Amino acid sequence: MPPARSQAKKQADNKKIRYGVVGLGHIAQVAVLPAFSHAENSELAALISDDPQKLERLGRRYKVKERYSYDQFDACLSSGVVDAVYIALPNHLHREYTERAARAGVHVLCEKPMAVTEEDCLAMIRAAEENRVKLMVAYRLHFEEANLKAIELVQGGRLGEPRLFNSVFTMQVKQGDIRLNPRELGGGPLYDIGVYCINAVRNLYGAEPMEVVAFSANNGDPRFEQCEETTSAILRFPGRERLASFTCSFNGADVSTFRVVGTEGELVMDPAYEYAGELKQWVTIKGRTRERTFPKRDQFTRADQFLRMHTDRCRT
């Protein structure tokens, strides 16, 4: 490679993608904003929120001068101060803000779940394609080591033929939490934590489900007036008919686990989806169990990795 071109490439690599973070709630404060300090290819360039106090406080903490209200979102997009937005808004707003960013030619990294309906998701993909911007869902376990090792092990045939997946993900969510929003606004355990079970099996099987049945339940607690308390689902995958089942709930003690049973062995992750502590993996083959602990890591700093991946994609 001629030195001149190499130099040009290096310069391009050094040009960081400037992100505007839209929505400054819990996930933005504990995860997204801190992650930028580790990001090699991205930088925090703007904050967008309707809460002037949050804008002031977080703007000062992260040294971000560009601050916008939601009304000023389009002005922010057209001002040229951001190349991409990280959407950390309530779930039902993901579509609208993605479409607006796309129309302005701004790339989108969107918190999970992608949106509230399949129609919304398809509209977001269409908007990104039509406006030639990148759209990616921010999902922390795409880059988490224990989960990646599990995928490698299952797809590598260590358990024989993987035949079933089973997962339980439960926690207690308190009254007033945004996750207890009405279902049409994306509230409830399926949107918030069920996505981890679904993504886990999609990645472990390397396939997409073709059929699903589910029950939702509600014990009548006032917390669950507007969304379900618990959802159990069974998914059927194509080909040699693998099954998967999972249960997610906002009214259970903390449980976060999945298992894959193959014709010759079993893999258990417990906890499987947490970010506050270590993750554990048990692999049992021919009656012998091997335990492996994955020390706690800041999975949100891994935002760096998906920001970088996003950045790389932006440059393709």
Instruction: Please answer whether residues 128 and 85 qualify as being in contact, where contact means their C-beta atoms are separated by less than 8 angstroms.
Output: no
What are the CA-CA distances from residue 92 to residues 75, 192, 269 (Å)?
A: 22, 12, 31
Residue placing its CB nearer to its own copies in the complex, 52 or 160: 160
In angstroms, the CA 286 to CA 153 distance is 15
Residues 165-184 that bind its own copies (CB under 8 A): 166, 168, 170, 172
Contact between 188 and its own copies per CB under 8 A: no
Question: Contact letters (x/-) for its own copies, 128-167, by CB under 8 A?
Answer: -------------------------------xxx-xx-x-
Instruction: Select 74 or 264, whichever has its Cβ closest to its own copies.
Output: 264
**Token pair for residue 263?**
């014709």
For its own copies, which stretch binds (CB under 8 A), given 29-37, 72-80, 81-89, 232-240? 232-240
Burial of 60 (0-12, 13-18, 19+ CB in 10 A): exposed
Q: Least Å distance between CB 91 and its own copies?
A: 23
Place of tokens 């279902």: 183
Q: From the CB of residue 153, how many other CB atoms can be counted at a distance below 10 Å?
A: 19
Q: Contact at 8 Å (CB) between 105 and 131?
A: yes
Q: Which is nearer to its own copies, 41 or 257 (CB)?
A: 257
* Among candidate residues 258, 247, 136, 241, the one with its CA nearest the CA of residue 203: 258
The residue (of 129 and 241) whose beta carbon lies closer to its own copies is: 241
Alpha-carbon distance of 203 to 199, in angstroms, equals: 6
Contact yes or no for 260/165 (Cβ under 8 A)? yes
Q: By CB under 8 A, which span of 101-109, 125-133, 134-142, 261-269 interacts with its own copies?
A: 261-269
- Count of beta carbons in the 10 Å neighbourhood of residue 198: 19
Instruction: Give me the least distance between CB of 173 and its own copies, in Å please.
Output: 12
68 is catalytic: no
Backbone angles phi, psi at 83, to 5 degrees: -95, -25
Cis check for the bond before 271: say yes or no (omega within 30 of 0): yes
Q: Which of 185, 234, 309, 314 binds its own copies (CB under 8 A)?
A: 234
The answer to the question of residue 252 lying near its own copies (CB under 8 A) is yes
Q: Which is nearer to its own copies, 17 or 159 (CB)?
A: 159
Only segment of 16-24, 119-127, 189-197, 210-218 that touches its own copies (CB under 8 A):
210-218
| Nearer residue to its own copies within complex by CB, 64 or 200 | 200
Query: What secondary structure, in 3-state letters, does 188-221 show?
Result: CHHHHHHHHHHHHHHHHHCCCCCEEEEEEECCCC
What amino acid occupies position 3?
A: P
Catalytic-role residue among 112, 134, 139, 191 = 112
Indicate if 10 belongs to the active site: no
Q: Which two tokens stand for residue 252?
A: 């259970």
Q: Figure out which of the listed residues 37, 119, 213, 292 binds its own copies, where binding follows CB under 8 A.
A: 213
Nearest to residue 101, comparing CAs of 81, 76, 65, 67?
76
Q: Name the minimum Å distance from CB 25 to its own copies.
A: 26
- Active-site choice (68, 86, 196, 205): 196
Contact mark string toward its own copies, 264..303, x via CB under 8 A: xxx-----------------xx-x----------------
Residues in contact with its own copies by CB under 8 A are: 159-161, 163-164, 166, 168, 170, 172, 211, 213-215, 217-220, 229-230, 232-234, 236, 240-243, 245, 247, 249, 251-255, 259, 261-266, 284-285, 287
Q: Could you list the active site residues? A: 112, 196
